[in-house]
Amino acid sequence: MTYRPTVRGRRLARELRRLREAQGLTLQEVADRLDWSRATVSRLETAQTRPRPNDIADILDLYGVPSPDRDALITLAREAGQRGWWTAYADVFTGSYVALEDEASRIRTWDTQLIHGLLQTEDYARAVITAGRMLPGPEEIERRIAARKARQALLDREHAPHLHLIVEEGALLRPIGGREVMRNQLSALAVAAERPRITIQVLPFNIGAHAGLDGRFTILSFPDPADPDIAYVEGTMGDVYLESAEAIATHGDRFARIAAASLSPEDSAHLIAEAARSSP
């Protein structure tokens, strides 16, 4: 099964690289001393492989890391290696996004075309998946809908993340799935906007040129300050995860500019409710 690194997995990988560099060792030198391949060490430092506590213990012994730091990192390796609920849908979810989203404390997302997956109704999701994925049969479609429902449970947790969604007005008017499906989706969106940890804004048509013209993106933030924000850009040719301070600052500024150009949450809620009522 393909390993999808969690936030803890990424944190462990960063710490392993920091410790190696502090010792002045190259990847090959570490590999030679542990009788591993260079690729094995590299994959651990880039969170491309599931960390095994025994391997992490060996590498920490090489670096001379004492307890309690040693114990804490081995515990982190155990936590990073645990399989999350999403592994049951490994045939649906690709990349690391869902594993990272699952641990986020704040999700900021901008989209020009669609209602965000976390807030999609079942019928709306079915229409989106059917049109966009070009799947061979109904079984595959229903499998993806089940996975999306499991993902949406994130918002019902006791410590649910704060979701800040900005969507272009056109996404409210495009009758995906037909008029009735769209009316029900807009009604559900209006209800979601009343939840305390969900903020929804609409960017109106009359704004013209704006900071979001380059396309949709999401910024994930995490409760532990040791875990930097991640900007996620989804594309048909592959997904991109941006973690550098410069990239995060750029996307954070872009999101703030889009939010400033959008209707307030209150005015957006009125617009969404009106769109639901107006849908024939």
User: What confidence tens digit (pLDDT) does each residue in 97-138 have?
Assistant: 999 999 999 999 999 999 999 999 999 999 999 886 666 688
Q: Band the pLDDT of 4: cuts 50, 70, 90.
A: confident
H/E stretch holding 167 reads strand 162-168
Quick check: 100 and 220 in contact, CB under 8 A? yes
Per-residue pLDDT of 197-253, as tens digits, reads 999 999 999 998 999 998 999 999 999 888 999 999 987 666 788 989 999 999 999
Helix axes 7-22, 53-63, angle to 10 degrees: 20
Using CB atoms within 10 Å of the CB of residue 108, give its burial: 0 to 12 exposed, 13 to 18 middle, 19+ buried.
buried
Predicted pLDDT of residue 134: 67
3-state secondary structure of 166: strand
The C-alpha atoms of residue 199 and residue 70 are separated, in whole angstroms, by 41
Find all residues with CB under 8 Å of 122, minimum gap 6, and list them.
145, 149
The sheet with strand 240-242 has its strands ordered as 198-203, 162-168, 106-111, 217-221, 230-233, 240-242
Predicted pLDDT of residue 136: 66
Q: Hunting for tokens 């209800």 — which residue is that?
A: 191
Segments in 82-214 forming alpha helices (H): 97-101, 122-133, 138-152, 170-173, 179-192
Flag the least confident range among 78-82, 144-148, 192-196. Answer: 78-82
Per-residue pLDDT of 162-191, as tens digits, reads 999 999 999 999 999 999 999 999 999 999
